[in-house]
Chains A and B, each alone.
Chain A
């Protein structure tokens, strides 16, 4: 599915040049579950941006199903994101003025899904994450765990190939953390997704079948066959 070769990302901070990613080589297969770990500022988020088609690398290739994302125009990258990639963010990133259902619908807007179908699919997605009763609630009226479940529904409603999660439990307390991890895991299995997650949480990292650690822009991958 994903083939990363020599991915390098440079940022200039004043006169200094920062190597956020320094020649990353990584292969992610269909239906893989990869956890990315590492210290703050090590390049985790930058890698997620590259994989999620949010940004292009300074050098190297990111091949998704035979297409090199590094060479695509902004418009093409937008299309890739709208069709293939679902995001779950640390702070949920729901639109505060829209209801749960409308928030989920926003993911279907770029695909040109008709209003009626859009509503139905959004409602179904919310039911599947256990929020069938909360369609008309605003994010502010829901708990953190519920908000994150809305975000998961939003990420999955378009049936993407890849689910990217950036510290999905970072803003949640422990009980909710397990709840969200259960939902994510269930979705991964049900939808046959490729699931890539960045996390600080070592408990979660331990359970991961593949664990990538990024330090100073370099990656090391550890297969954890036992827990797969």
Chain B
């Protein structure tokens, strides 16, 4: 009888059941969307961090910040002016170590030897500024008014010819790009792991000092580079062996060359800018950080968590929105939905006072009547849960389908890149080495089993709460209510 009655009630009072269910559905759908968007935010942040670090890197070690770089380290270009009729192009490359600070290669071994460190690999980030163009000398023209004859010279005694320099000037292109010296013997760690080789091949472990280069696909497209093309950096010719595409966000560098080659180019023998560290246990990262900081002096250790704190921009805003506003909003909506469901169930019981009174008069125990009411409420809750899950999945799907783009700016703790004090005037290309790195990440809203489980739990809880309201009301009805004459 329980199920017959239940089924009949829900079928014949569909509207009332739907009102309760859709209230719960709204709350549950919101929880699913907020939850999945939050986890999407987490994924987006991971992507941002990955694009910097590459896969498998748990932390980076850089040189601790020192006093600002001296002026001698600033790039300087020296060109001689050409003669008037000489249109020869002049070119000059300046290779600078990113951030102007380096660590000795021996530090890599030292870090690798620390407890909890699974592997460590060094890399050298370089900024290359190439300036090429023409610098024509101005032409001297004597003033017509001061005479062209020799008489003046004799009489005047001003000594020097009067006139002005006209014409001439500079016409230069500035091309700034980044080069990353990678340790080809350890291909499993470092920034190149976040890129996929889409054409050609990557380095072999024997190419420690070969003149080969892997180009980032975006840069390759801009410069029309292909596998087999040649790239010249500071008069050294490199052969392009592969094109790498960043799997997420921006690539770590425009060009990748073997570490030894990078060190030679910048004149920093046995130096690295960043050490990429993989911990043996990803749960022990903060302990490993402590160990490295205390045992290897003069270094700054940055973990993914540290880096995540420096993420700003719309991703960070949206992320905090999802976690704070979203969470509270869904809690508020849930509470409202639970209350509304409870009150509606309770008022439904009030409208059925005579019905329940009659059943009690027929000898139905209070518990049986209450059970009936609670049963109806739980089914309502489950229907609401199913609707809510459908609605929530649809919402999450829409978010994923639209994939709103969020931008993320990473603070300058990444790679220790500090903007050189007073860079060369007009060096527009220097934007690339700006301290902060900005990435665009598409937001997705993945729904996982935990979220669905939570939704089902909430649906049952909602039903129980509604049932508690209604059941309490029903249990207090007197059998004599059956005799009420109100229609």
Contacts and interface: CB of A to CB of B under 8 A. Distances in A.
Interface of A: 45, 48-49, 52, 54-55, 74-75, 78-79, 81-83, 87, 89-91, 93, 95-98, 102, 105-107, 109-111, 115, 118, 154, 166
Interface stretch (B112-120, B292-300, B477-485): B477-485
Contacts of B363: 78-79, 81-83, 107, 110-111
B362 A87 contact: yes
Interface string B350-374: 0000110011111111101000000
Contacts of A91: 354, 485, 487
B263 to A, nearest CB: 85
Given A93-B355, A106-B364, A98 B483 contact: no
B482 A93 contact: yes
B362 A107 contact: yes
A81 B365 contact: no
A93 B364 CA distance: 15
A48 B1 contact: no
Contact of B5 (A87, A89, A98, A111): A98
Nearest to A84: B363
A102 B362 contact: no
A74 B5 CA distance: 24
Of listed A45, A52, A109, residue having the most chain B CB within 10 A: A109
Contacts of B359: 95, 106
Q: Interface on chain A toward B: helix, strand, loop, or mixed SS?
A: helix
Interface in B135-180: none
Nearest to A107: B362
Of listed B368, B480, B483, residue having the most chain A CB within 10 A: B483
A87 B365 contact: no
A160 B364 CA distance: 15
A2 B368 CA distance: 29
Nearest to B482: A93
Contacts of B362: 81-82, 87, 106-107, 109-110, 154
B450 interface: no
What bracket does the count of chain B residues touching chain A fall in? Answer: 20 to 34
A33 to B, nearest CB: 20
11 contacts: A78-B364, A82-B362, A87-B358, A93-B354, A96-B12, A97-B8, A98-B8, A102-B5, A105-B1, A106-B1, A109-B362
Given A49-B480, A89-B483, A166-B483, A97 B361 contact: no
B281 interface: no
Contacts of B485: 90-91
A78 B360 contact: yes
B13 interface: yes
B368 A110 contact: yes
A105 B482 CA distance: 18
Interface of B: 1, 4-5, 8-9, 11-13, 354-355, 358-366, 368, 478-480, 482-483, 485, 487
A54 B1 contact: no
B483 to A, nearest CB: 6
B478 A55 contact: yes
Contacts of B368: 109-110
Contact of A81 (B355, B361, B483): B361
B483 A102 contact: no
Contacts of A102: 1, 4-5, 8
A78 B365 contact: yes
Given A54-B480, A54-B483, A89-B358, A97 B12 contact: yes
Given A105-B1, A107-B362, A109-B1, A97 B479 contact: no
Nearest to A45: B483
Contacts of B5: 95, 97-98, 102
Contacts of B480: 49, 54-55
A221 to B, nearest CB: 22
Nearest to A98: B8
Of listed A49, A52, A54, A74, residue having the most chain B CB within 10 A: A54
Nearest to A79: B363
A165 to B, nearest CB: 11
A102 B8 CA distance: 10
Contacts of B478: 54-55
Contacts of A107: 362-363
A166 B9 CA distance: 27
A70 to B, nearest CB: 15
A97 B358 contact: no
A55 B355 CA distance: 17
Nearest to B486: A91
B350 to A, nearest CB: 16
A54 B13 CA distance: 29
Nearest to A49: B480
Nearest to A154: B362
A187 to B, nearest CB: 17
Nearest to B485: A90
Contacts of B364: 78, 82, 106, 109-110
Contacts of B355: 93, 95-96
A54 B365 contact: no
Given A74-B366, A98-B5, 12 more contacts: A54-B478, A54-B479, A55-B480, A78-B363, A82-B363, A89-B482, A89-B483, A95-B355, A96-B355, A97-B12, A106-B364, A110-B363
B60 to A, nearest CB: 68
A93 B365 contact: no
Contacts of B358: 87, 89, 93, 95
Of listed B5, B366, B368, B479, residue having the most chain A CB within 10 A: B479
B308 to A, nearest CB: 56
Nearest to B2: A109
Nearest to A111: B363
Nearest to A167: B485
Nearest to B8: A97
